[in-house]
Amino acid sequence: MDTIINLGTIFASFVIYQLIFHFVSSWFSAKVSPCFNALSLEKKIKWNLRVVSTCQGLVVGVFSLCIILFREAATADPLWNDPWLVKVNIAITTGYIISDGRSSGIHWEFRLIVQLSTLFYNQRWFLKTLGYSKSSEAYIISGVFMTVMFLIVRIAAIPPFYYCIYSMYGTDAYFGLGLLIQCSWIGSFVVLDVMNVIRMIRILREWVHLSQDTLSHQTRVSNQKSSS
């Protein structure tokens, strides 16, 4: 019965994301922003992909957060937990992966909350595509939310995640994974976390450059007013 439910959820997820990509995204985007119709076909495809990615990030991120906060079974045994809500969340993600034409490895609900930062990352791309400058109010506000969310769900989550791994090391559940899964599982997260730290550094550098440009612009305006 569980297998049928999981397969049904995967299929439903795949169909819904396909409908969003091919129909809903274009219709909704044209209603919200008339500039969408002026985009090239390539830009529209990228736009629709990011709309689907945003929907996926919102659904999976909220599900994962609820599981972590309110489902004791999901945190009591992080390696072998099997509550139905976790299965549904993974099935939804699987449907998205198939729809998006990508492959994925093993993920924990604890790390799937990183999808929440995808919402604001895509929002910045939308604004950039519509011609908003990096100094515009909308772009800056979106950037602030993206930076805060990225810091919380991708960087601040690193220490407790590896503490959780450390607490499970040497247990029967850990050895039950097998050496191959242990290495690939931990190794993949180490690589991802290093990439996230590097990306966080780049984001902070962007803020420094933006602050310097803003200060320089204000100085020039002030000098021009003084001269006149």
Tens digit of each residue's pLDDT (9 = 90 or more) over 96-134: 877 765 433 334 455 566 667 778 888 888 988 888 887
Residue 71's SS3 state is: coil
Over residues 171-198, the pLDDT tens digits come to 776 777 677 767 777 777 888 889 889 9
User: Rounded to two decimals, what is the model's pTM?
Assistant: 0.61
Model confidence at 31: pLDDT above 50 = yes
Contacts 24+ apart (CB under 8 A), 219-222: none
Distance of CA 129 to the CA centre of its chain: 19
